[in-house]
Chain A
Amino acid sequence: MDAAPQIAVENLDIRYGSVLAVENVSFVVNTGEQLTLLGPSGCGKTTTLRAIAGLEKPSAGVIRIGGQTVYDSERKIHVPAERRGLSMVFQSYAIWPHMTVFDNVAYGLRVRRKSRSEIEEKVAQALGQVQMSAFASRRASALSGGQQQRVALARACAFSPSVLLFDEPLSNLDAKLRADMRVELRDLQHRLGITSVYVTHDLEEALAMSDRIVVMRAGCIEQIGSPTEIYNLPRNAFVADFVGSANLIRGRARPDLAAGAHFVLETDEGHLVQALAHGRAPGPEPTVSVRTVHLHLSATKPEGPNAWPVVVRRSVFQGDFTQVHVAWGGRELVVRAAALAPLPEGSAAWLSVAPEHCVLLEREAAA
């Protein structure tokens, strides 16, 4: 059974009245894998997650969980959420205020009519896993946000579900706590080896926690891949810019100047950019994506291709890095660099980037 995907979503459409919130979405989640649905708000990621959970009824498509069809528009199958055997951590935590922490965590076990001793054992185990054992008899309404988050997690794991769903679970925490919880969540997920689907709009969260990422926009999937793939090889301008920050350079192809696997782009100003094509065929208006952190500024001309003289327009210190806007021909590029010596505005500099950090994007469908 391990080879079969734990969750399969095929051609999913979700419609609210006349609005198509999710359009023709297909992906699989393998057993034990952590998959993240990433995208800006309103992209349909939460709706997709809720459709897997059974809280939202799609309009078309098929959803299979553990080999069993839980939704099929043509065969008119719609298994209610409570019988899908999944579990979910909600954005609002959804800790029941009228129960104790213990009762909250025990809920799923009680629904399953487990024996009292088993309930006590499992709840203790789940609370231990999130370091909340001391709070078992506490009223849920008397917990802080971070504690509620932990209880929600314990509750979701306690009855050993086959799949865990996360709906932006960290978005209500402050930045510091969020970073800590991110690590903890990842650890827990590895420890339990549980299959999970995670929804977030936070790039760092997605990159740090996932085995694979599904990038969504406006109800459609833009790209599916591992964090490094998504980051290093964005398929299109949207992914390049949403997953990290990128400069997009348009121009025309110069196959005549290409050497080896490199693709050469010429901008309107006549700058030549050597990039990697990764087997992608350039369209009529090829675009190369360069991450802002991969650009280098130096006082003297560096060796190799992709080095151009630029003028510094603006330099903004942002703590972990300094963001520099430079004039490059008729346009502006953004460079992010750590530990950069301050560059006065108007000063001249050299900009360079390694060709392997310049990625040719796939040709866009007519937009």
Chain B
Amino acid sequence: MTGSSPRAGLSGKVVAGVAAAAVTGVLVLYPIFYLLQASFDVGDPDVRPPTAYGFDNYAALASYTRIMTNTITVSLAATAMALVFGFASAWMLTRTNVPWRRGFEQLMAVPYYVTPLLGALAWSLLGTPESGFINQIARALGAHGPVIDMLSPAGIAWVMALFEGSVAFVMIGAVMKSMDPALEEASQVMGGGRLRTMLTITLPLVAPGVLGAAVFVFAEMLGSFSAALVLGLPVRYYVITTAIYQLISQYPPQIPLAAAMGVSLFAVMFVMLFLYRRIITSRSYVTISGKAFRPRVMDVGALRWMLFALCVTYVLVSVALPVATLAFAALQKLAVAFPASSNWTLSNFRTAMTMNAVQQALGNSLILGVATASIGIVLMGLLSWIIYRSRLPGAPVLEYLVMFPQAVPRLVFAFGMMWAWLVFPLPIYGTIWILLIAYLTVFLPLGVRTISGVLLQIDRSLEECAEMCGAPWGYRMRTITMPLLRPGLMAAWILLFIASVRELGASILLMGPHSKVLTPAIVESWAATSSELTAAMALIQTVVVALALAFFMAVTRRAIAVSGD
């Protein structure tokens, strides 16, 4: 026992904790402050800080009811569809004997990686009234006028639902899996028939989970951006996020109004996510035990092949069809449904790869991806540990702070950042540094959730034992916590990398002329140049993400194989 000064031993932990909390506080609260300030700014729009404050901007929102109705219509429709996809697939894949269930379960996550932007681009190629491939084919088959119109609220909702369906699947599937089959067996043993068991036991048990998923998905829909941008803007159909974007990027920009809109959206999402938490924590009987059960599988007989076909269809429509469509378009000079042989070309890929702007954007995206992921896992790993393990006072507050960006659409958050960093004495606005800061902030919930999921599975006594062996905090972290956390840190690295490379909402506002990144560049190209070139760029991005994913899967598997036995 050394015992010189009893309190000195705390310092490593406390210093790291205070530093991480301070960084998080600045990252999260600084932009929100400026967002709020801007929303109450009723003075001279060219002067900062504001010369007068008031509620006029919020009052002015009343004249935008059209946008609000659009947003709610699209979000509700998309949520309903996503829940149907999610619930049906979760039920099929966890509770029935559909062939090749395990494989499908893996595949169900893929739409999430394909992104709504890619889907929106592809479905726009497929379903614009005039030149959409499907409509071209229909006309060739004798139809009069377009059979589908993707440039419509229904089109936006459809694309959003396809991708958010995969989120709903994961959430509902988890609930169905965590239900103890003995609960249903008990009902049957007591003489309850299959239907009665389903109605009186199964449904009430999964209901909170499904409701939670519904609220969560709806909140995500409210803040989603890319599908409405690609499919709504051409026909001037605005939802709240695209309206905010329009207000900021038009000339002259209407910053205070956009801020008021952003704050309102954020307030609604905040309430929804609060509701979600309440539902999940207070009414979820099934998830509490945290045990994984082997769910009872129902033999659905010949029906299983029909269900199998449904699963195949979902994966085809949400993954294969968009990617194939983009490839089909990217390989043509002018994308049509029935190309002549002279129409095929590789020039779009060549152009995409040699264009300075694209090269620069791709390079920046990769640098940002690696930097965000690498810095992110250190910061977010530390935050996870402080929140869930350190028992430092203030850890619960820190948790709320970290999860805060979840409730703020990235576009709105970036808007706050743009406004905040414009007046910050450090000249980082318009450089990739501000993008790095933005990514680190908006992905806080993603990283911390991923890492803490693994952290919470590590028995606390493993760390305590090191403490009892006399290891100081830093030594413990290095020898015990970090190695045990490695799978979580690796998963977080991959997720952060992918999320950064594909990021649109924040990047589109924050990138400068010399700090272009890939996804906004794709959107710009879509608006300004040809759709064939854009398709090529989107494919290149997809391939980069897929390669990164494959590479790190391989590395992780090796690392796990080495650390395991």
Contacts and interface: CB of A to CB of B under 8 A. Distances in A.
Contact of A77 (B6, B475, B480): B6
A80 B2 CA distance: 11
Interface stretch (B85-93, B345-353, B364-372, B457-465): B457-465
A189 interface: no
Interface in B1-54: 1-3, 6-7, 9-10
B400 to A, nearest CB: 19
Contacts of B473: 82
Contacts of A82: 9, 466-473, 476
Interface stretch (A92-100, A126-134, A236-244): A92-100
B470 A108 contact: yes
Contact of A112 (B7, B462, B470, B564): B470
Interface in A147-169: 155-156, 159, 162, 165
Nearest to B458: A97
Q: Which of A53, A54, A88, A94 has the most CB of B within 10 A?
A: A94
Contacts of B10: 80
A188 B479 CA distance: 29
B483 interface: yes
Of A77, A98, A155, chain B has the most CB atoms within 10 Å of the CB of: A98
Contacts of A252: none
A87 B469 contact: yes
A111 interface: yes
Given A107-B466, A107-B469, A83 B9 contact: yes
B158 to A, nearest CB: 47
A90 B466 CA distance: 11
B461 A91 contact: yes
B138 to A, nearest CB: 59
A85 B1 contact: yes
Nearest to A71: B6
A316 interface: no
Contact of B9 (A79, A88, A94): A79
A107 B6 CA distance: 23
Q: Interface residue tally of chain A, by bracket?
A: 35 or more
B100 to A, nearest CB: 32
B7 A53 contact: no
A81 interface: yes
Given A111-B469, A111-B471, A96 B1 contact: no
A16 to B, nearest CB: 11
Contacts of B466: 82, 96, 107
Contacts of B471: 82, 107, 111
Given A77-B6, A96-B480, A87 B462 contact: no
Nearest to B471: A111
B563 interface: yes
Interface in A265-288: none
Chain B interface size, as a band, is 20 to 34
B61 interface: no
A182 interface: no
Contact of A142 (B6, B472, B475, B565): B565
A117 B402 CA distance: 47
Given A79-B6, A96-B462, A141-B564, A86 B484 contact: no
Given A66-B1, A79-B9, A88 B470 contact: no
B468 A88 contact: yes
Contacts of A112: 470
Given A90-B461, A111-B469, A97 B1 contact: no
A139 interface: yes
A248 to B, nearest CB: 38
Interface in B121-136: none
Contacts of B465: 88, 90, 94, 96, 155
B464 A94 contact: yes
B461 A78 contact: no
Given A108-B469, A108-B470, A83 B479 contact: no
Contacts of A88: 464-465, 468
B563 A98 contact: yes
Given A96-B462, A96-B480, A53 B565 contact: no
Given A92-B459, A92-B461, A94-B459, A155 B565 contact: no
A68 B3 contact: yes
B184 to A, nearest CB: 31
A183 interface: no
Contacts of B7: 78
B459 to A, nearest CB: 5
B468 A86 contact: yes
Interface string A55-70: 1000000000110101
Interface string A93-126: 0101110000000011001100000000000000
A70 B7 CA distance: 11
B490 to A, nearest CB: 14
A68 B2 CA distance: 10
Contacts of B467: 54-55, 80-82
A54 B471 CA distance: 13
B457 to A, nearest CB: 12
Contact of B1 (A68, A77, A78, A159): A68
Given A55-B464, A80-B10, A142-B565, A97 B470 contact: no
B468 A81 contact: yes
Nearest to B463: A94
A77 B3 CA distance: 11
Given A94-B459, A108-B469, A83 B464 contact: no
Contacts of A80: 9-10, 467
A217 interface: no
Contacts of A70: 6
Contacts of B464: 53, 55, 81, 88, 90, 94
B367 to A, nearest CB: 32
Q: B1, B466, B470: which has the most chain A beta carbons within 10 Å?
A: B470
A85 B470 contact: yes
A96 B484 contact: yes
Contact of B470 (A66, A92, A159): A159
A78 to B, nearest CB: 7
Nearest to B563: A98
Nearest to A109: B469
Contacts of B564: 141
Contacts of A108: 469-470
Interface in B439-465: 459, 461-462, 464-465
B338 to A, nearest CB: 59
A177 B6 CA distance: 41
B459 A83 contact: no
Interface string A20-60: 00000000000000000000000000000000011100000
Contacts of A92: 459, 461
A84 interface: yes
Interface in B389-426: none
A139 B562 CA distance: 11
A81 B468 CA distance: 6
A142 B470 CA distance: 26
B479 A107 contact: yes
A91 B459 CA distance: 11
Given A78-B6, A98-B563, A111-B475, A83 B461 contact: no
A272 to B, nearest CB: 53
B470 A98 contact: no
Contacts of A87: 468-469
Given A96-B466, A107-B479, 17 more contacts: A68-B1, A78-B6, A78-B7, A79-B3, A80-B467, A82-B467, A82-B476, A83-B1, A88-B464, A91-B461, A111-B469, A111-B471, A139-B565, A141-B564, A141-B565, A155-B465, A156-B468
21 contacts: A68-B1, A79-B1, A79-B3, A80-B10, A81-B468, A82-B468, A82-B472, A82-B473, A83-B3, A85-B1, A85-B470, A87-B468, A94-B465, A107-B469, A107-B479, A108-B469, A111-B469, A111-B475, A139-B565, A142-B565, A159-B469
- The 9 A-B pairs at the shortest CB distance, nearest first, are namely A108-B469, A85-B1, A94-B461, A94-B465, A80-B9, A88-B468, A90-B461, A81-B467, A111-B471
